[in-house]
């Protein structure tokens, strides 16, 4: 198994950009929870803390695809250094406003600008696609990055909360920005593996990747998947608090991520056949079915076991989704296309966490898992209704690619 993963790093520069991508992705899991911990400590207001964190998440959902579109047009290194600079300055302003007890609106203003953080997971996968496009090793590379994502979400929250509580309230978000700045700098200097610019995109011609046939199906499905993630986080904390073991909630959520991590490791070694669209639909359906036991758990041990099983479908589905994006989105728009799926997740997380919190307050912690199951069902229905479009999308993309080549070779 290890040799399968070791072989993907035979490509020159691959270990370097993947390691830099890991460092620069740490803020994904550290910033939101760090803001909540920081503001709840400094201001004593969980409502304000959650609202500022949600503002950052929604800002990322809006600005992320636009930053990635600029990356496809002007190049990774040229754009991500500038976007990171803006993000670091905005987050610095947020931390100072929190420390100096500035008016609440300043926190929201800073958070809304900090959302231009580059989607480093998409940039890393774009480099893997350049190296292994058309090769079975691309599946392994995407599986590896999915495992890295899970590791980030296991380590990041624990590190961020620990820093905020053990050092000083701003420590978690501050270290997250240090990781972002250093990781992006290390990533940007590795120019040898950077995807080349495509003339039509570089000159400003062409439409957004979101207009690619089939991509909307993935994005809308991922709104449901994101709602699953957001609701699970909120309800697990509430469920543990109801049982007077709130501190155990982070360990239960880590078990959820562990299940996804293990599945991703195994999935990357498999030699799979058949259309990616079918695998995607099967993955979403399996995820939906695996959420049903959550409606019946009565203690934290049962919840941890149920979440571990539910996590087994997450990484394989994510890997398949990125493979589908690589197949249906033009190479010149790949970074933006991958970022749109992340945007779907971010919107879903915001919706799922809000809905789950409302249900928990009104009907109790256990009832919150109804939101999780409903969100998973919504994702399954969306994937099923869009299955035909996903099946035909690769062929449509191939025809569009041929047409584009013909236009480029026409005189005048």
DSSP string covering 297-358: --SHHHHHHHHHHHHTTHHHHHHHHHHHHHHHS-GGGHHHHHHHHHHHHHHHHHHHHHHHHH
With a cut of 60, say whether residue 229 has pLDDT above it: yes
User: How far apart (Å, rounded) are the C-alpha atoms in residues 42 and 37?
Assistant: 9
105-114, 167-176, 259-268: least confidently modelled range: 259-268
With a cut of 90, say whether residue 291 has pLDDT above it: yes
User: How far apart (Å, rounded) are the C-alpha atoms in residues 223 and 287?
Assistant: 14
With a cut of 60, say whether residue 359 has pLDDT above it: yes
For residue 98, the model assigns a pLDDT of 92
User: How far apart (Å, rounded) are the C-alpha atoms in residues 227 and 4?
Assistant: 33
For residue 21, the model assigns a pLDDT of 93
With a cut of 70, say whether residue 247 has pLDDT above it: no
For residue 122, the model assigns a pLDDT of 86
Percent of the chain with pLDDT over 90: 32
For residue 2, the model assigns a pLDDT of 67
Delimiting residues of CATH 1.20.1250.20 domain(s) in the chain:
15-191, 208-412
Most trustworthy range by pLDDT among 37-46, 73-82, 193-202? 73-82
User: How far apart (Å, rounded) are the C-alpha atoms in residues 389 and 12?
Assistant: 37
20-34, 144-158, 192-206, 312-326: least confidently modelled range: 192-206
pLDDT tens for residues 23-36?
Answer: 999 998 888 878 87
Query: Do residues 264 and 143 lie in contact, with contact meaning Cβ atoms separated by under 8 Å?
Result: yes
With a cut of 60, say whether residue 201 has pLDDT above it: no
Domain spanning 15-191, CATH architecture: Up-down Bundle (1.20)
For residue 401, the model assigns a pLDDT of 46
Section 170-198 average pLDDT: 92
User: How far apart (Å, rounded) are the C-alpha atoms in residues 346 and 124?
Assistant: 19
User: How far apart (Å, rounded) are the C-alpha atoms in residues 217 and 411?
Assistant: 37
88-92, 171-175, 215-219, 332-336: least confidently modelled range: 332-336
Compute the mean pLDDT over every residue in the chain, rounded to the nearest whole number: 84
What kind and span of H or E run contains 49? helix 46-74
Q: What is the pTM of this model?
A: 0.76
With a cut of 50, say whether residue 404 has pLDDT above it: no
For residue 99, the model assigns a pLDDT of 92
pLDDT tens for residues 107-136?
Answer: 999 999 998 999 898 899 889 988 988 787
- Sort 28 into a burial class: Cβ within 10 Å, 0-12 / 13-18 / 19+: buried
For residue 187, the model assigns a pLDDT of 95
- Enter the CATH code of domain 208-412: 1.20.1250.20
For residue 412, the model assigns a pLDDT of 45
User: b or e along 315-343 (b: 16 or more beta carbons within 10 Å of the residue's beta carbon)?
Assistant: bbbbbbbbbbbbbbbbbbbbbbbbbbbbb
């Amino acid at each position: 198994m290890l040799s399968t993963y070791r072989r993907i790093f035979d490509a020159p520069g691959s270990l370097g950009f993947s390691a830099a991508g890991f460092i620069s992705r740490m803020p994904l899991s550290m910033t939101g929870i760090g803001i909540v911990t920081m503001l709840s400590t400094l201001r004593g207001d969980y409502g304000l803390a959650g609202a500022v964190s949600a503002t950052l998440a929604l800002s990322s959902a809006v600005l992320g695809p636009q930053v990635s579109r600029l990356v496809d047009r002007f190049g990774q290194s040229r754009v991500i250094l500038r976007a990171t600079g803006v993000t670091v300055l905005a987050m610095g302003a947020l931390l100072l406003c929190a420390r100096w007890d500035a008016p609440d609106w300043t926190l929201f203003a800073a958070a809304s600008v900090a959302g231009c953080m580059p989607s480093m997971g998409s940039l890393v996968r774009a480099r893997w696609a350049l190296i292994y496009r058309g090769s079975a090793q691309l599946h392994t590379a995407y599986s590896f990055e999915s495992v890295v994502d899970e590791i980030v979400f296991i380590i990041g929250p624990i590190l961020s909360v620990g820093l905020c509580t053990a050092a000083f309230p701003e420590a978690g978000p501050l270290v997250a920005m240090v990781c972002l700045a250093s990781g992006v700098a290390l990533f940007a200097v590795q120019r040898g593996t950077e995807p080349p610019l495509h003339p039509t995109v570089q000159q400003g011609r062409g439409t957004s990747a979101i207009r690619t046939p089939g991509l909307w199906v993935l994005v809308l499905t991922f709104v449901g998947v994101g709602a699953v993630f957001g609701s699970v986080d909120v309800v697990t904390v509430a469920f543990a608090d109801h049982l007077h073991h709130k501190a155990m909630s982070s360990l239960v959520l880590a078990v959820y991520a562990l299940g996804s991590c293990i599945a991703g490791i195994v999935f990357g070694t498999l030699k799979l056949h058949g259309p990616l669209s079918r695998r995607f639909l099967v993955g979403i359906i399996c995820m939906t079915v695996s959420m049903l036991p959550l409606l019946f758990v009565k203690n934290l041990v049962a919840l941890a076991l149920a979440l571990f099983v539910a996590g087994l479908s997450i990484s394989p589905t994510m890997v398949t989704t990125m493979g589908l994006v690589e197949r249906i989105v033009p190479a010149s728009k790949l970074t933006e296309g991958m970022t749109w799926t992340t945007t779907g997740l971010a919107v879903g997380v915001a919706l799922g966490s809000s809905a789950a919190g409302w249900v928990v307050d009104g009907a109790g912690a256990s009832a919150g898992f109804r939101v999780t199951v409903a969100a998973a069902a919504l994702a399954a229905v969306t994937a099923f209704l869009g299955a035909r479009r996903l099946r035909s999308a690769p062929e449509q993309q191939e025809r569009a690619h041929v047409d584009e080549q013909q236009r480029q070779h026409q005189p005048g």
